[in-house]
């Protein structure tokens, strides 16, 4: 597999089929509920392993994958920072082998310090929120069950400085939600091609009004108030002082991405709240993770280096 094929395969897992704001795929029917695949197939990759944990919130097992760098076995007394990777809509399993290889190569090449990567199971359309109908308590599972499970079973640096949230599309939205709501747990937040970052979920650039309405009904209780109650905008406003004083944040978006306007508005919103963040616009790039990663180049790993620069092993 050449480099371009490698990144194309990676992109499929990153974007969750390149979903748009609200992570709504272009399809005849959104079909949110049939995507509740709590235990996925196992993916393979360098340093990557498949696991399940018992979830009280879900009432059964939930799967995840974890990447462990070569340094982990070489130094049994060392603790490591953790990257929580939040995939886009459609599920992220297909992209894990390639994405794991990207992380592994960057660490081996010393482009980034060694870290663990937790590939969460965000379901096909989980949206990284606790659904109003109770069917998919995604936030509770990931933040309040999976995070402490990882800290209890792997040698992590279990501090906010030792945790980085990253994701594309639906995953960028999830990273914003978790990072802005829980700055005491996650110090560094990367939001790439994120959606839905708008104030109201009425339409989306890549979906019909009917699809947006279905997502609003299934996940947010059918009301704009329900959507706004769990919005990154709300948590940014409520935690502005804490975010401004301590968090490391970046928004990455291509200027040809259909979600550009919504991300630019969110950037302006953060500026109005006095929350410092990197605002990275990539010329000629659309809602395409391959293009985003290629355009970022070493800036991607420089962000990771800066996030973990002061940590001791």
- H/E stretch holding 103 reads helix 96-108
For 120-162, the pLDDT digits (tens) are 999 998 999 999 999 999 999 999 999 999 999 999 999 999 9
Q: Which two tokens stand for residue 271?
A: 């500026």
CB 122 within 8 A of CB 38: no
More confident: 195 or 10: 195
| Exposed / middle / buried, residue 185 (Cβ in 10 Å: 0-12, 13-18, 19+) | middle
CATH topology of domain 3-308: Rossmann fold (3.40.50)
Give me the residue spans of the domains in the chain.
3-308
Q: Which residues contact 26 (CB under 8 A, 6 or more apart)?
A: 20, 206, 207
- pLDDT tier, 221 (very low <50, low <70, confident <90, very high otherwise): very high
For 23-67, the pLDDT digits (tens) are 333 333 444 455 589 999 999 999 999 999 999 999 999 999 999
Q: Which two tokens stand for residue 225?
A: 């108030």
CB 17 within 8 A of CB 205: no
More confident: 288 or 28: 288
Q: Would the pLDDT of 7 be above 50?
A: no
If you count DSSP H runs as helices and E runs as strands, how many of each does the chain have, helices first? Answer: 13, 8
Q: 0.95 cut: is pTM over it?
A: no
The residue behind tokens 């019909």 is: 208
Tell me how far apart the alpha carbons of residues 100 and 6 are, in angstroms, rounded to a whole number: 11
Q: What does the mean pLDDT of the chain come to?
A: 88
């Amino acid at each position: 597999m050449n480099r371009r094929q490698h990144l194309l395969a990676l992109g499929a897992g990153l974007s969750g089929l390149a979903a748009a704001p609200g992570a709504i795929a272009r399809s005849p029917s959104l079909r949110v509920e049939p995507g509740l695949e709590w235990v996925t197939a196992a993916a393979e990759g360098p340093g990557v392993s498949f696991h399940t944990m018992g979830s009280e919130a879900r009432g059964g097992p939930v799967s995840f994958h974890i990447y462990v760098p070569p340094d982990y076995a070489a130094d049994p007394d060392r603790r490591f920072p953790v990257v929580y990777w939040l995939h886009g809509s459609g599920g992220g399993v297909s992209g894990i082998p390639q994405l794991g290889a990207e992380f592994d190569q960057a660490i081996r090449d010393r482009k980034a310090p060694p870290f663990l990567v937790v590939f969460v199971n965000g379901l096909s359309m989980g949206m990284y929120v606790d659904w109003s109908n109770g069917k998919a308590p995604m936030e509770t599972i990931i933040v309040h069950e999976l995070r402490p499970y990882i800290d209890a079973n792997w040698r992590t640096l279990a501090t906010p400085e030792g945790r980085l949230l990253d994701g594309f599309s639906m995953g960028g939205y999830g990273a914003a939600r978790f990072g802005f709501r829980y700055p005491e747990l996650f110090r560094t937040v990367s939001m790439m091609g994120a959606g839905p970052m708008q104030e109201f979920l009425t339409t989306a650039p890549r979906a019909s009004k009917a699809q947006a309405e279905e997502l609003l009904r299934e996940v947010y209780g059918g009301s704009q108030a329900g959507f706004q109650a769990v919005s990154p905008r709300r948590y940014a406003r409520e935690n502005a002082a804490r975010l401004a004083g301590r968090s490391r944040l970046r928004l990455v978006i291509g200027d040809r991405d259909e979600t550009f306007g919504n991300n630019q508005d969110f950037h302006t919103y953060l500026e109005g709240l006095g929350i410092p963040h990197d605002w990275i616009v990539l010329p000629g790039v659309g809602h395409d993770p391959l293009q985003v990663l290629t355009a970022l180049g070493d800036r991607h790993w420089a962000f990771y280096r800066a996030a973990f620069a002061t940590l001791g092993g």
